[in-house]
Amino acid sequence: MQHSFRQEGRVVTKEVYLGKTIPKDIEHIKLRLEHTIKRPLYGKLERIREHFQKEWKRYPDSARCKELEELAIAFTYNTNAIEGSTITLHETREIIEDKIAPHKPLRDIEETEAHNKAFLQMLKQKQKITNKLILRWHYDLFSKTKTDIAGKYRDYLVRIGDYIAPDWQDVKKLMDCLVRFTRVATGNPVEHAARVHYRFERIHPFGDGNGRVGRLLMNHILWHSGYPMLIIEYKKRRSYYRALRKDEDGFVDYFLRRYLAVHKKSIT
């Protein structure tokens, strides 16, 4: 078994001898090989976690609350803007902190308020990922603006550009599989968050709002595993969408590179 990857500008190949016949535990052998190759990467991610936890413990409770509020504003603005919201970052702050409504569509204002509340609730409560939790997130986000679909898995076919999402009759079964997958320790929590996010977006279980729920889901995994979160910035949305059009490993590669770039100060 061979696996080639790029390291410091050159291609490196690792090999494992399997014998004269393919062994029955081939998938476990493949997983061990991948873990061996990714050990340096996992070391970097672990240093990011350790640095984040060390710094986070320095904050008094009042400062932590303020930091979470700032994080919620940034996350709410970017995740909604990616999905077409007209609310700016400055207006997001005014809506959340000052309760000032800009001259913008009421739907965008209400979704800003709802997302901020749902995001902070997600951070404060470590809950087991279930279908019920995912449906509740969707309901909390869209109960005022998309009443006909809020908190419900879709029962119709959807298309996203050239991609046709799975048949609606398979959505519940696929989501059950995804929920089980969230509880399986695969590699590092950052990599696991990326794989969960990718699989969720490919299922596309809701008629609308999949991106926002999917980004809540991946950050739920990161935060409650002790890692700093990743905000997909509106200005970098094109590379994010291109990555989602790749296969799972292609998206994971994008996610890990982005995560390391955002948090590189923690490991230098």
Supply the residues annotated as catalytic. 204
Contact yes or no for 230/215 (Cβ under 8 A): no
Produce one character per residue of 210-247: b if its CB has 16 or more CB atoms within 10 Å, e if not.
bbbbbbbbbbbbbbeeebbbbbbbbeeeeebeebbeee
First-last CA distance in the chain:
34
Are β-strands 10-15 and 159-160 bridged in parallel, bridged antiparallel, or unpaired?
Answer: unpaired
Q: How far is CA 150 from each of CA 23, 140, 206, 231, rounded to the nearest angstrom?
A: 48, 8, 9, 24
Burial class (CB in 10 A: 0-12, 13-18, 19+), 197: buried
